[in-house]
A and B are shown apart, each in its own frame.
Chain A
Amino acid sequence: MSALEEMLKYAIDPREFDDPEFQKDPFPLYERLREHHPIFHDRFHNRWVISRYWDIDAVFQDSEAYTRGVYKPGGDYEFGKRHVFGPNILEYGVGDEHRFMRNVVAGQFVGRKLDAFLPFIDLIAHELVDNFKEKGEVDLVSEFSNQFPIRVISNMLGLPREDEDMFVGWYQALIAGLGFGGEHLVRGLAARNEMWDYIEPLINQREKDPKDDLLSALVHAELGGRRQTMEEIKGFVALLLAAGGDTTDKAISNMWYHMMYTRPDQFADVKENPDLWTNVFTEMMRYDPVVHAQFRRTTKEIKLYNEVIPERDGVIIYLGAGNRDPRVFKDPDTFDIHRDDLHMGRENRSGRYKDGKPGHLGFGIGQHFCMGYAMARQEAIIGSTLLANSLKNFRPKFAEHEGITSPSIDSGGFRSPAELWVEFDVD
């Protein structure tokens, strides 16, 4: 092959990122990016693409050079006005304000606070399984994973249990809107507004009479004598639905998809040793995580390979590609819960582990490391263990499955199977 032919063979047409095939199976394009264009200037979408593991790590680690803060080109960004969720923590780049808001909530999702909530997480998992355990078959996506994390969040916030179904409805409408856009988005925004109307009096009530719940913590937290405004609190609650509900929801579906279709042989190992659910979770987060893409904006000129990214340019980092980097993981395209070259335990915000092994990139690293990581992991493992233990002879209902996909990888559309029908024996 001539040099020109070689070049053309691996050339990338930026329209490939909009191809439905990319949403279904992004990995061939990821490989071409990683191996032949480690920094790719996508002039069509006006952004730079980064895909190798250690380059992604470097972007995450340097939140001064690559910011997540938003602004309007040529002027100040009007905080919270353009975001679907309203004003929220992800709009802050770095600095005290982000750190403060993050700490208000992060503490709720780890350590003793989380431990105290585990029995309740377990209770909700049981309620859901009880709904279908006599039926002999179930769609795990709609009857379990789609319900479980959002019901947990509703209760962490301190909403009355009788309103939980309503909350689940708003959640489903908003998530469909974010994923599919168009008329779904119109319905999603209407649901968000309904939820905001519902929650406003509860926020006022927590203001006067705080309880031991997340909503009260959000209302009463102070930075330099300032509390969050009503808009900010409502924005945060909306963000929680997507960031805390939708991601964990899809993580559980993905784990079960891989156990049913990708590695049924390893599902047998997991049934024998439920401790391995932690490996299923971790390997899922590497092999095909829920979130594949993150955006940053440069705050200064950056040299990478033989390119120069100008200041204030957009950068997209494909965690989904970095996780399959053969420089880091052996046989990266094989789903293997027993792999010994991946840190299998709890994730760290630093992205570094004492066992010296690399971690998956699925939660991000650094300033914007997922603050619900410990809770997501616990929910996924508690829920999966319960399912596997309570339902006998668990098996896929259909021999074929269309697989995991996403409405739009680039717009943050989360990856998951649309449905996952399974069968089990009923005594």
Chain B
Amino acid sequence: MRNHFFTGLSSALTLALVLVVLPTGAQTSEQTLKEIERYRAALADGNPAELWEARGEDLWRKQRGPKMAALDKCDIGLGAGVVKGAYAVLPKYFADADRVMDLESRLVYCMVSLQGFTPEQAKKDPFGGPNKKSDIEALVAFITAASRGVKMNVVASHPKEQEYYELGKKMFFHRGGPHDFSCANCHGADNQRIRLQDLPNLLKQPAAQSAYTSWPAYRVSQGELRSFQWRLFDCFRQQRFPELVFTSDASVALTMFLAKNANGGVLSAPSIKR
């Protein structure tokens, strides 16, 4: 663990080096991209996401809430208590809730139904920050890590799942706000960049797969593990939209669209990103 902390430090130093050696001149941008690739490879060496995974595993097994129950009876997609491979089939329709759910909304559901928390208590800290830890993000880290190496397999055969996929697709192309932005403006064409940041084309399978399967991720620049709900929340902030409500229907519908487009991709999350 300590070792990883130092690897993280050396990664940060590598970043500093990369920034210093950024070449000048347009013709050298290929070299710049290579340097960024090298930096990413250096980061992958040690991933602090392990800290979140370990805390999440404890939370999964611990008896908590008014009912003093553990979450390990929670059905997150493959039956009660099955963790391995479950993330690969989400989002999914759950008959007990009569709702299509992603991982985060399913965790909230189980915290309410099994442990007796109120929905407000369960959703209290969806994202970690400087002075608060998010239990949900830790649980997400533990559960997604158990699907590393598993192929995405969102079946979407239930009519509700198909409906969410179609609604999510419409949201992807929905232009709005003062900047007229939709998801598609940045993520609907090949080989696009904002500044030096690559933008995956989420409409085409290889890019959609590698993008989706690398979330959740530990973000070096934030020192936090970030869930897919956070990824959408922060994309919409940059899109100049209002705030996407945590585990809202729109967040699940859009996740359904993106997750199904990534079918066949091998999960590598939680990964590590800049």
Answer yes or no: are A and B bound together in one complex: no
Residues of B in contact with A (beta carbons under 8 Å apart): none
Residues of chain A at the chain B interface (Cβ within 8 Å): none
